[in-house]
Amino acid sequence: MSKLTKTNTPGIYRRHSKGCSGGRCDCSYVVVWRHRGKQETETFRTLGEAREAKGNRDAGDSRPTSRIRLGDYFEEWIETYSGRTSRGLSERSRELYRRSAEDHFLARWRTWKLADVEPTDIRQLYGELRRRGASTSALRQLRSTLSAMFSTAVEDGLLRSNPVRGVRIPAATKVEADEDQAKALTREELRHFLAALPDDDWRLFFEFLVHTGLRISEAVGLRWAHLDLGKRPRVLVREQLYEGKRSRLKTRSGKRDVPLSQGMAERLRAKRGASDRDAAPVFSTLTGTELSRPNVASRILKPAAKDAGVPWASFHSFRHTCASMLFEEGRNVKQVAEWLGHADPAFTLRTYVHLLDDGVGDADFFDRLRLQKAGVGAKVELRG
């Protein structure tokens, strides 16, 4: 290894490569310090970077930068990470973290030192994925995975800062933004879709999705024990079925009671018949097992949507349709948020504001208010 030579700044040295004259060159700078009685070194590309690092050392941050490789750290982290809230981390979230890492950054950075990933690298990764057509939801999942991993590394004393913090996801193109916007079926489109379904059982299933606004994982995970079909019929949303595994709901607000109409309750009672199997799924295969989301999508949803002229329709479209109808019936944002299981009514408003009446509406109600104050509201016929 090349010998270190002193610079004008104490504690910073220059490592000239073999044959370098020692004048103007691109050779690296090395900061030398002691931590717990052991000499530590760290190499930097420029003198400015070396001076900044030495300043941190002088301020008391004497811990050496971790030399652990990112791939090694990730494998240990993903098995032991318990989340950042008292609820812990669900196995579904753990699997989403692992999948995002394998799809987007492990192959790229597996052999890098954990400390070598910088904000510019994060920004470049986001940009490349966006240019290759990655959706906003995929990029958000990636950011969540990276942020959680690097935050844990900071807590473990392996990093000084989280490189993900402050790096923004590139804006979506207008086409994608339009596609990402919550899209509901009109009543006419819904009628055509229901008519395209193969039988009454599937019509009941999709009408139930529109009626309740349940997520598909909540609907296929529904057991008869979760239905109260008495005088005040309702759905007790308590768990979900994701990729064939039952799990608790993602948020506390997801646990909710959704009202059912008397007509829907009557149809569900007829479907159950005399069965007393509370643990059986409400909607099942011919053999009585839980429905598979991919199978229902490919065999039932997509063909019917294509025949009905709404090939863009997804399971979430029926949840959006529920929200649209609730707003049409005069429910306020807080009521719709509770119906759908949203933690924040502001999120509900942001998601569905485009479903509300366009523009500011008319001003005729001011005339009605004025006439009512004059005591003639009931006697005057308002036209308009």
Residues 43 and 78 in one domain: no
Domain membership of residue 253 (yes or no) is yes
Report residue 82 as tokens: 């318990």
| Predicted TM-score of the model (pTM) | 0.56
* Cβ 234 vs Cβ 259: under 8 Å: yes
Residue carrying the six token digits 């310090």: 33
Query: Identity (one letter) of the amino acid at 82?
Result: S
271 CB neighbour count, 10 Å cutoff? 16
Domain membership of residue 376 (yes or no) is no
Report residue 225 as tokens: 């024990």
* Cβ 7 vs Cβ 14: under 8 Å: yes
Closest CA to 161 of 66, 68, 84, 91: 66
157 CB neighbour count, 10 Å cutoff? 10
Alpha carbon distance 160, 331 (integer Å) = 49
Q: Which domain holds residue 12?
A: 4-58
Residues 329 and 346 in one domain: yes
CATH of the domain at 106: 1.10.150.130
Residues 345 and 196 in one domain: yes
**What single-letter DSSP state applies at residue 110?**
T
**What single-letter DSSP state applies at residue 300?**
I
Domain membership of residue 150 (yes or no) is yes
Residues 311 and 348 in one domain: yes
Residues 226 and 328 in one domain: yes
Residues 278 and 341 in one domain: yes
Domain membership of residue 327 (yes or no) is yes
Alpha carbon distance 70, 110 (integer Å) = 5
Helix axes 70-80 and 91-104, enclosed angle (nearest 10): 170
Domain membership of residue 382 (yes or no) is no
Closest CA to 197 of 311, 286, 299, 272: 299
Residues 147 and 102 in one domain: yes
Type and span of the H or E element at 221: none
pLDDT per residue of the chain (384 residues) written in tens, 0 to 9: 567 888 888 888 888 876 676 667 778 888 887 766 677 777 777 888 888 877 777 766 555 566 789 999 999 999 999 887 766 777 878 888 999 999 999 999 999 989 889 899 999 999 999 888 888 888 999 999 999 999 999 888 788 789 998 899 988 654 444 444 568 898 899 999 999 999 999 999 999 999 999 999 999 999 999 999 999 999 999 988 877 778 777 677 788 999 999 999 999 999 988 777 889 999 999 888 999 988 999 999 999 999 999 998 999 899 999 988 888 888 888 999 999 988 888 878 877 766 665 554 556 656 666 655 555 444 444 444
Residues 151 and 273 in one domain: no
Structurally, how many domains does the chain consist of? 3
What does the DSSP assignment read for 242-267?
ETTEEEE-SSGGG-EEEE--HHHHHH
In sequence order, the 6+-apart residues with CB closer than 8 A to the CB of 127 are: 170
